[in-house]
Amino acid sequence: MTGHVDSVKTYALVFAALICLTILTTGVAFIDLGPFSVVVALVIAVCKMLLVALFFMHVRYSTKLTKLVVSGGLLWLGILVLFTLADVVSRGWVGVPGR
C-alpha cells in the first residue's frame, strides 16, 4: 500500500520535537516542583508517545479498527493501573476484625 507517504520534513519536525521534549524533561527534572515533578515528567512522556505513535507508527492513517484496538489496549492498561492502585491506597482504610 502506498496510500500515505509522509514527507521527510514531517518526520524531521517530529524527530526535532522529540529531542526538544527529551532535553526539556531532563532539565525540568532538576527544578523542584514538589509532587508535580512526576506529573510534568509523565505528561511529557505521554506527548512523546503520541508523537511516535501518531506519526512514526502511522496511527493517524490506520484503519478505524486499528485505532480502536490501540485505544482499547490503553483503556485496559488504565483499568490495570486504576484498580491496583485503588486497592493499594485503600488497604488501611477499613479495620479488619481480628487483625
Question: Which residue, 32 or 93, is less far from other proteins as judged by CB?
Answer: 32
* Residue burial 52-86, b: 16+ Cβ < 10 Å; e: rest: eeebeeeeeebeeeeeeeeeeeeeeeeeeeeeeee
Question: Which residue, 21 or 99, is less far from other proteins as judged by CB?
Answer: 21
Q: State the nearest-atom distance from the C-beta of 93 to other proteins, in Å.
A: 15
Q: State the nearest-atom distance from the C-beta of 97 to other proteins, in Å.
A: 25
Considering only residues 88, 94, 95, 97, which one is a binding residue for other proteins as defined by CB under 8 A?
Answer: 88
Tell me, rounded to whole angstroms, the distance of Cα 92 from its chain centroid.
30
